[in-house]
């Protein structure tokens, strides 16, 4: 006797099933959700607090924070008066779609225009775990070296946008070597359509373009 196997249905991993559920949720609510991915310390939380402050009165932002341990980043987001939910992964080096689904239930979705997910600081495997987000945003800071798009291609190939952060450091002669044009060219080799924003979350330089892109992305989705 042979067992009948349904080969017509793609067998999804548990994570993909949850990711699909989240993405349906975002589509139903016409909600933009951006999954922010970078190495530890490139400036994700600082970028988020600055973005929330810059867009106050224009766009309502909520944040899902992923960290291995502590709720320090969530406290920083809440200090701006934006709602934030912390996920502590207890050792895991990336967020899962199921964890995001649980956090979503705790956010005041109807009141929000844009949800950011700050993934665990890690440039590698968060790129492989779909969360059901509408887009990924890669962050690279100038202190990490301009070879990162070439050496860690997965996230730069998938991201809708890339922020090159800490450009204020480039103004101090002899401090860091980072060729912005090289990083841009390497990212574009992987991803022709990637939007690139050189910024400083410290000084606010470059935030006008980044924030304009966010406002446009929200309104395109709502049309």
Ligand X SMILES: Nc1nc2c(ncn2[C@@H]2O[C@H](COP(=O)(O)OP(=O)(O)OP(=O)(O)O)[C@@H](O)[C@H]2O)c(=O)[nH]1
Kindly list the residues in this chain that would bind Mg ion in the complex (CB under 5 A).
44-45, 73
If the CB atoms of residues 27 and 128 are measured against ligand X, the closer one turns out to be: 128
Which residues sit at the interface with Zn ion, rule CB under 5 A? 93-94, 125
By CB under 6 A, residue 54 contacts ligand X: no
Nearest to 182 by CA among 201, 159, 171, 198: 198
By CB under 6 A, residue 121 contacts ligand X: yes
By CB under 6 A, residue 38 contacts ligand X: yes
Give the span between the Cα atoms of 71 and 61, in whole angstroms.
18
Minimum distance of Zn ion from residue 81's CB (angstroms): 31
- CA 166 from chain centre, in angstroms, equals 17
If the CB atoms of residues 59 and 77 are measured against Mg ion, the closer one turns out to be: 77
Give the span between the Cα atoms of 133 and 164, in whole angstroms.
21
Among 16, 71, 88, 168, the residue binding ligand X under the rule CB under 6 A is: 168
By CB under 6 A, residue 78 contacts ligand X: no
Q: By the 8 A CB rule, do 200 and 180 touch?
A: no
* Partner interacting with residue 125 (select from Zn ion, Mg ion, ligand X, none; CB below 5-8 Å by kind): Zn ion
Give the span between the Cα atoms of 106 and 74, in whole angstroms.
14
């Amino acid at each position: 006797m042979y067992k009948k196997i349904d080969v017509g249905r793609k067998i999804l991993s548990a994570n993909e099933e949850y990711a699909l559920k989240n993405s349906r949720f975002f589509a139903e609510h016409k909600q933009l959700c951006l999954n922010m991915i970078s190495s530890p310390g490139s400036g994700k939380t600082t970028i988020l607090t600055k973005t929330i402050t810059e867009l106050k009165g224009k766009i309502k932002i909520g944040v899902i924070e992923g960290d291995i341990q502590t709720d320090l980043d969530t406290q920083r987001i809440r200090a701006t008066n934006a709602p934030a939910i912390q996920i502590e992964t207890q050792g895991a080096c990336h967020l899962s779609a199921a964890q995001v689904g649980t956090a979503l239930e705790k956010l005041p979705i109807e009141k929000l225009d844009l949800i950011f997910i700050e993934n665990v600081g890690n440039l590698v495997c968060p790129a492989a775990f779909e969360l059901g987000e509408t887009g990924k945003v890669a962050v690279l800071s100038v202190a990490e070296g301009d070879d990162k798009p070439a050496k860690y291609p997965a996230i730069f190939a998938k991201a809708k946008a890339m922020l090159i952060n800490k450009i204020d450091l480039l103004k101090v002669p002899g401090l860091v070597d980072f060729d912005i044009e090289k990083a841009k060219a390497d990212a574009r080799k992987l991803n022709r359509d990637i939007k690139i924003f050189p910024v400083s979350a410290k000084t606010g330089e470059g935030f006008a373009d980044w924030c304009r892109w966010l406002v446009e992305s929200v309104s395109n989705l709502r049309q």
